[in-house]
Amino acid sequence: MQVHELKKPKHLKSKRRVGRGGKRGTYSGKGMKGQKSRAGKNIRPQIWDYIFRTPKLSGPTAKLGDAGQRVKKQGTIKDIYRVILNMDELNNAVKEGDIVNVDYLLKNGLVRKYKGMKPRVKLLSKGKLTKRITVERLELSKGAKEQIEKIKGTVK
């Protein structure tokens, strides 16, 4: 027996460096084969599946490609907040010779602002109008316009 053939005592031997990291033995907690066990694993989050499935409201974005063009843009707040007034409601609130516009309706409490914005108001012909008025910058149905002109009111 020679010096190079001598074995170290067990307590002086260095441990086997297998796997490195994870403190879980041979494969470091990564299992055996597959994408997740490789270095630099790059697996997208599962929530992306749901993100790609939902239609977007605006144009395309860098990551989503044409997913953004599946649904057209919805209407603006101006389109959403539209108030419909009938002639009988208007008849109860106005006096003879009044000039009716959005500001007048806001002042008399027939309509309200929405998020600080004035609403779009449309007059319909339900009910009867008995007072002569002037209507400015309001949308009118055909019947409502006829009613106003019939009692010698004006539409601007």
pLDDT tens digits along 59-105:
445 444 454 454 455 555 556 678 999 999 999 999 999 999 999 99
Q: Does the structure show a pLDDT above 60 at 150?
A: yes
Report pLDDT for 56. 60
Nearest residue to 127 via CA among 98, 95, 97, 84: 84
Can you tell me the distance from the alpha carbon of 48 to that of 44, in angstroms, rounded to the nearest whole number? 7
Report pLDDT for 152. 93
CATH 3.100.10.10 spans which residues of the chain?
77-155
pTM for the full predicted model: 0.50
Q: What is the CATH number of domain 77-155?
A: 3.100.10.10
- DSSP-assigned letter for residue 45: -
21-26 long-range contacts, CB within 8 A, separation 24+? none
Give tens-digit pLDDT for 22-53: 776 788 888 888 888 888 878 888 888 777 77
